Structures are given as structure tokens and as C-alpha cells.
Amino acid sequence: MSEAALFVADAEPTTLGFLMRRLKDDGFKIAEALDRFDLVLAGNFDHVERWVERAPVILIGSEAAGSVECVDALRRGCDDYVERPFDYQELVERIRAVLRRTRPRDPEVVEAPPLLIEPRTRVARVDGRRLSLPQMEFELLLTLAREPDRVFTKTELLRDVWGYRVTGRTRTVDSHASRLRRKLREAGASVDLVNNVWGVGYRLYDAVPTIT
């Protein structure tokens, strides 16, 4: 399963800072309210109806609130409830359990001929020839191959592949796309598979996806 993005909606500054630091250290992406995210950690019932429409929610309840608040959280659409003070490792395991239930599993194989990509083993091939790609080039190729008909803007790629929230002026996408295009050619691709759509971003060129 790919890295999950979490939105932490807790108004208590100490808890908010603690969770954002520790969750990032444990491999989660920390999202903002306008980003796409896979799960919400809500510190109270404020806006909980809004959050449950967008993603699974774990409510971190009040101290000694008891079963009444837990039942209320579940009735209002939350996926789990944790009472304060909480054990951090237990919270992480609850997050992972909810994600296992609610997130779509990565496909065994993503095919966008002539590409074949195995997300779990992080193997990519073009016409059967295995590519040697560093992490971010692999992530860029996988992102494009999952939706080959879609044109991704550079801002979207910086956010979804690199995790940037503030982009500014950067050649990160262009430089990685250029190296990836060269490696695909060297591996035998007959066309430029990473296509630059001028003024917009990138898409995978003339590929038809098959996900198995």
C-alpha cells in the first residue's frame, strides 16, 4: 500500500504538533485541509460531518468522556474512536487498521503498454526489459501510468509525488521527467513515453492501461 496522507484536525497546539512530527517520522504524509487525504484525525466534533464525507475519520475524544462520546462519534460516521490520553503506538495501529479496511489496495500490476509496473515490488519494465530507477523517477512513472490519458500539472505532480505544498519556481519535475524519458529510450521504448504537454504538465504518451 502506498504512503497514506493524513489530515490532523486537532485544535490543541501541543497535540497537533506532536502528532504531525511523529506521524511524519512513521512514514505518513501530513496533508492540509484543501489537499487530498486518506484519513482524518479529528480532535473534536467540529466539522466532523464535513470530514466524514471526504475520508475515514478517527475521533480523538475528550479525557474521561466515556462510552457516550464514543457512541456519538460512531453514529455520526466516524470509523474509530480513541480516548485521551492516548497511547501513540495504539493510535498508529488503529490508523493502519482503518486504512486497511478503507483504502483500495495497490494493484498487483499496472500495465500501460509497453510498460509493466509492479507497485509492491517496485519493478518497472518496458517491452520486458527491466528499468533501473531511483525512487522519485519510479514514483513519477507509476503516477503517470496509473492514469495515462490524464495530463498532470506540474503542481499536482510536485504535491502528489514529492509531497510539496508550496512549489514556487522549480525544475524538479522537468529534470526528473527528462532523465526518465532518456532511460525509457535507452531501454528500447520506440516513442517518448513521458510526454510534455507544453504550458500544462506531463502525461504518459499513447499508453492504454490495464490493471490486474
* Residues 207, 114 share a domain: yes
* Residues 74, 122 share a domain: no
Residue 169's pLDDT is what?
66
Domain edge (last residue) among 81, 102, 123:
102
Q: Output the domain CATH number for residue 40.
A: 3.40.50.2300
* Residues 159, 132 share a domain: yes
Residue 156's pLDDT is what?
83
pLDDT at 6 over 90: yes
**37, 42, 45, 51 alpha-carbon torsion, rounded to 10°:** 0
pLDDT at 206 over 60: no
CA-nearest of 109, 188, 121 to 145 is: 109
Q: Are 25 and 17 in contact (CB under 8 A)?
A: no
Residue 95's pLDDT is what?
93
Query: What is the domain range of residue 21?
Result: 5-102
Residue 2's pLDDT is what?
55
Residue 1's pLDDT is what?
47
CA-nearest of 38, 204, 212 to 110 is: 212
Residue 59's pLDDT is what?
93
Q: In this predicted model, what pLDDT tens digit does every residue of 53-106 receive, in sequence order?
A: 899 999 998 876 677 888 999 999 999 999 888 899 999 999 989 988 887 666
CA-nearest of 149, 151, 144 to 110 is: 144
Higher pLDDT, 88 or 161: 88
Residue 105's pLDDT is what?
66
Q: Output the domain CATH number for residue 189.
A: 1.10.10.10
pLDDT at 40 over 90: yes
Which one of 29-43, 60-74, 164-178 scores highest in mean pLDDT? 29-43
Mean pLDDT, residues 33-59 = 90
* Residues 78, 122 share a domain: no
CA–CA separation, 28 vs 152, rounded Å?
23
Instruction: Take residue 150 and report the three cell numbers written for it.
Output: 490524464
In the chain, what is the straight-line distance between the N-terminal and C-terminal CA atoms, in Å? 15
Q: In this predicted model, what pLDDT tens digit does every residue of 149-158 receive, in sequence order?
A: 888 888 888 8
Domain edge (last residue) among 102, 137, 160:
102
pLDDT at 37 over 50: yes
